[in-house]
Structures are given as C-alpha cells and as structure tokens.
C-alpha cells in the first residue's frame, strides 16, 4: 500500500522540461505595448502644453489690449446742468417749538347744585354769548320768588299807609322805619332769588365752539361738575421758546411764521404780543407769546407747532440750488466749472473741479453758501454722480431740477 502511494506522488511532480509552455504570441505582447503607451503619453503632454500655452498667450494678449485701450481712451465730456452762483438776500429766522393755546377757553360748570331738566345744546355745536345751554330745576326758587314778591307788595302798602299816618301824628316814626326796612328786606330776597334762578340757567359766557357733552338729562349736578368745554377758535396764542441769545433780535409786534405737522403745506402768520421778562434757569430759554388768527378754525389748542420769528434778511449772500451741493460725512462740496486744457482742435476744455464749501440756511430749493464760492462762478447743478475731480463736461443748458410742487407725505 505504501509503495503504491509513493509511486503516485512521484508521478504527480513534473520537471521544468515536462511543464506546459505559453504560446509565443502571448509572451511578445507586453514587450510591443510598452513603446506605444509611451508614445501616447508624449503626444498628450504636447497637446496639453499647446492648449495651456495658447490660453496663456490669449490672456496676455487680451490684458495688453485692454491696457492699451484704457491708456489711450478719453471719455466724452459728461453732460451736466449748470447754474451761476448769484448774490441774494437770505431770509433769517429765529426758530423755536411750542404749542397753541386758546385766548378764550373755559369748562362750563354750574355754580349751584341741581337736577338737569333741559339740555339745549349738541356736542360740537357753535354757541353764541349768552345762549342757554343747560337748565337746572328752579321750580322751588320760582315759588320763593313769588312769595318774596308778595311780601314786597304788602310791605310797600304798609309803608305807604304808615307814611300817611305819621304825617297826621297817629303813628310813630319808628313804625315807618320798620315798614321801610321790611320792604327793603323783601326786595333783597327777590334779588337773591332771581340771582339763584339765573345761575340755574347755565349760559355760554362767550361765543365759541362746544366740546363733547359730559352730562345727561335728569342727572344731579354738584357745583363745579364739568358740563362741556367752550373754546373760541377765532384767535389763538402761540407759546414757544427761543434760545436766550436771540433776545436782542426779537421784539413785540414782529411777525412769526407758524407751521404744524397736521397742515404741512400751510404757513400761518402770527404777531408777537409778549416776551417773558426772565430766562428759565433750567433750560436757559426765553418764552415768547404770539397771537395768531384762525378764521377757518383749522388750528386747535394744544396742537404742536414750529414757530419762526422773521428776522431782517442777510444781504449779499451767495446762493445756489440745493441740488448743486453734494452732502457727505466729510463735508459739503460743489463742482465748479473752469476752462482747463485744450482738445485736438485747440479749443479750451471745460472741466469740473470739486470745491469744498460751507453751507448756511436752506429754504425752498435754495441754499446759502457762506464760504468757498464766489458770485459769478459756474457750478454743476445736476449730474454730479458721473463726475470726478477734473472731469471734462459739457453744459446742456437744461434748468436744474425743481422739487415737486406737492411732495408726498409718506
């Protein structure tokens, strides 16, 4: 058995000469494929280098062309609108803030207590001076009045009788004096009762506009109970404050321009009627009172207003449209147009030069130039956004833009 196994094992082991050999075509393929791969790698490398070189050359050419274009490019003159700086009298104002106050305003209240029997007005209605507004119950007082009148009639008759008798010597003089005193007392009670009845008929103390009713029919009113407000809107006071340094420039009877946020497109005119003779120690401001006419009843007491006292104007001041000034955090400036340099035809070129200025008061579409500009200089009024210092410009002749006649409230 062991002999058979050894023979079979030896028969399974093959010598190198007995091992199978590969075909020749398969042994030659790796040798022939290596040169072709190297050739393709070289070709691809050359192609990539050519592409990259072409791109680099194109970018260099483009950059050089752009640089040459901008180096020789001269932009056309910018079209702008221009104005000439002029001398003008500039209005001056002493501006302050304040509120409106009624010249005649009162809360209608009863002087005596009583039950409301009649309400003869409507909320918001107009009332005339002396017009009956509310009637309180006066029936007991009218009864007392009739009683006192009867007593007065009796006292008068008694006095007349005693006066005749005293002349004949039938009655002492003391009786006449007592009867005269009784008559005077009765007449005094009549006047007192009539006054009480009149006080229970609550009337408007002056003409004006009534507010909202605060009582009801049948309600008992104590003395001082609010009934309704009555305000005369024909004339109002404007109370406002000014810095104390403005005291030498303001005086009684000077005009005041008043504006309110409720009526942004209207200017109301008032006249100074009083100036407080002392300065507030807390705010160092001066209180001023002016009277304003309010025929249409538009203005109301308590309304917040801006008040500006009209001062003598500042003469011979350089003035420009507001659109001509460029406002920045670093200061205000304008573009002044001057002749500088020549073009190919030898003509002088107009250029805009940025010039810093100091601005003053603004009103309407105008602004005062306090320094940095002289009268007669030509200034760009519109189109500054496309300019730089020394830019060539051409004036179109178009007028500067104007603000809208009715600006939006939003």
Domain extents in the chain: 78-90+315-395, 94-100+231-314, 111-137+200-226, 138-199
The reply to whether 78-90+315-395 and 94-100+231-314 are identical in fold is no
The structure's pTM equals: 0.61
Provide the angle, in degrees to the nearest 10, between the axes of the packed helices 139-168 and 173-199.
160
Burial of 7 (0-12, 13-18, 19+ CB in 10 A): exposed
Helix or strand holding residue 150 (H, E): helix 139-168
CATH class held by domain 78-90+315-395: mainly beta
Alpha-carbon torsion, ordered 310, 311, 312, 314, to 10 deg: -100
CATH number of 111-137+200-226: 2.40.50.100
How many C-beta atoms surround the C-beta of residue 294 within 10 A?
19
CATH architecture of 94-100+231-314: Beta Barrel (2.40)
Q: What is the pLDDT along the chain (410 residues), one digit of tens a residue?
A: 444 444 444 444 444 445 455 555 444 555 456 777 888 888 888 888 888 888 888 888 888 888 877 666 666 788 888 899 999 888 888 999 999 999 999 999 999 999 999 999 999 999 999 999 999 999 999 999 999 999 999 989 988 888 888 777 677 888 888 888 999 999 999 999 999 999 999 999 999 999 999 999 999 999 999 999 999 999 999 999 999 999 999 999 999 999 999 898 889 999 999 999 999 999 999 999 999 999 888 999 999 999 999 998 888 889 998 888 998 888 899 999 888 766 666 677 888 899 999 998 888 788 999 998 888 899 998 888 888 888 888 888 777 766 655 443 33
72/267 Cα distance (integer angstroms): 58
**Could you say which of 2.130.10, 1.10.1740, 1.10.287, 1.20.120 is the CATH number of the domain covering 138-199?**
1.10.287
Q: Is the separation of the CB atoms in 208 and 230 below 8 Å?
A: yes
Only one residue has tokens 């007065």, namely 152
Nearest one of 275, 303, 300, 301 to 287, comparing CA atoms? 275
């Amino acid at each position: 058995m062991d002999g058979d196994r050894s023979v079979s094992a030896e028969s399974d082991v093959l010598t190198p000469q007995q091992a199978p050999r590969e075909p020749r075509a398969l042994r030659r393929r790796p040798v022939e494929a290596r040169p072709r791969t190297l050739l393709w790698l070289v070709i691809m490398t050359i192609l990539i280098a050519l592409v990259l070189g072409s791109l680099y050359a194109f970018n260099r050419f483009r950059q050089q062309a752009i640089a040459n274009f901008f180096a020789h490019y001269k932009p056309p003159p910018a079209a702008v609108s221009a104005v000439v700086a002029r001398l003008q009298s500039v209005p001056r104002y002493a501006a302050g803030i304040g509120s409106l106050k009624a010249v005649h305003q009162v809360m209608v209240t009863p002087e005596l207590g009583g039950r409301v029997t009649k309400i003869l007005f409507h909320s918001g209605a107009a009332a005339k001076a002396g017009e009956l507004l509310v009637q309180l119950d006066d029936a007991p007082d009218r009864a007392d009045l009739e009683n006192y009148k009867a007593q007065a009639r009796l006292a008068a008759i008694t006095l007349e009788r005693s006066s005749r008798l005293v002349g004949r010597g039938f009655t002492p003089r003391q009786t006449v004096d007592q009867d005269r005193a009784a008559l005077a007392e009765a007449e005094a009670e009549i006047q007192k009762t009539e006054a009480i009845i009149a006080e229970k008929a609550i009337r408007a103390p002056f003409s004006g506009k009534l507010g909202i009713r605060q009582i009801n029919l049948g309600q008992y009113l104590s003395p001082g109970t609010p009934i309704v407000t009555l305000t005369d809107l024909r004339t109002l006071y404007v109370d406002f404050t000014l810095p104390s340094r403005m005291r030498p420039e303001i005086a009684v009877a000077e005009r005041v321009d008043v504006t309110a946020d409720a009526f942004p497109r209207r200017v109301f005119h008032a006249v100074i009627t009083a100036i407080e003779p002392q300065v507030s120690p807390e705010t160092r401001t001066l209180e001023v009172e002016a009277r304003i006419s309010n025929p249409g009843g538009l203005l109301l007491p308590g309304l917040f207003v801006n008040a500006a006292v009209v001062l003598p104007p500042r003469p011979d001041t350089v003035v420009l449209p507001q659109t001509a000034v460029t406002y920045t955090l670093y200061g205000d400036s304008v573009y002044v147009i001057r002749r500088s340099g020549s073009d190919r035809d030898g003509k002088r070129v107009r250029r805009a030069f940025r010039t810093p200025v100091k601005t003053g008061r603004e009103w309407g579409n105008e602004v005062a130039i306090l320094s940095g500009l002289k009268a007669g200089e030509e200034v760009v009024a519109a189109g500054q956004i496309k300019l730089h210092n020394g830019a060539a410009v051409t004036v179109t002749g178009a007028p500067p833009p104007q603000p809208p006649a009715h600006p939006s409230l939003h």
